[in-house]
Amino acid sequence: MTPRDRIVIGSDHAAFRLKEIIKHLVSTLGLDVEDVGTHSEASVDYPAIGRRVAALISTGRFQRGILLCGTGIGMSMVANRYPRVRAALCHELFAAAMSRRHNDANLLVLGGRVVGDMLAEEIVKTWLTTPFDGGRHQRRIDQLEAPLSEGNTPVA
């Protein structure tokens, strides 16, 4: 099994139920799923779970992942702090497709209290099957990945 055939997934307690649904869906699509938690609806701190998933993508152990929390906002904030992680918070299909086509998002973030089960499943399917367009978009990804020390510093 290659890293492209594997997905890492994690959630906090607020999205645990939806994570279980998404895990099952991803498995039925023929992908291996690594669940890094949480494993119940008992309260947990979302940054710990978000860091686990983001680190696995940042280091290249997984090519793609899915994070869930109540709104998706907290997990997005955690994940996008990591190099080589391009986390996209998607609550509808167009954003899911465009996050892949133009941004080569490697981490999908969902809000368990924001999207319903059926919509979440469609978002995941869209995100998993939409390819990156490359071309001019690759140049922009390269700019995202460039260290700030390479003349890429924000203007004060």
Domain boundaries, the chain: 3-145
Q: Indicate the CATH number for domain 3-145.
A: 3.40.1400.10
Q: Tell me if residue 13 is catalytic.
A: no
Report the alpha-carbon angle 26-100-13, nearest 5: 45
Q: Which is the catalytic residue, given 39, 90, 102, 137?
A: 102
Q: Is the pTM higher than 0.85?
A: yes
Query: What pLDDT score was predicted for residue 1?
Result: 45
| Residue 116 to residue 1: CA distance in whole angstroms | 31
Q: For residue 21, what pLDDT band results from cuts at 50, 70 and 90?
A: very high
> Is 90 tagged catalytic?
no
pLDDT value at 44 more than 70:
yes
What's the pLDDT tens digit per position in 59-117? 999 999 999 999 999 999 999 999 999 999 999 999 999 999 999 999 999 999 999 99
**Does position 154 have pLDDT exceeding 70, yes or no?**
no
Catalytic one of 24, 39, 69, 137: 69
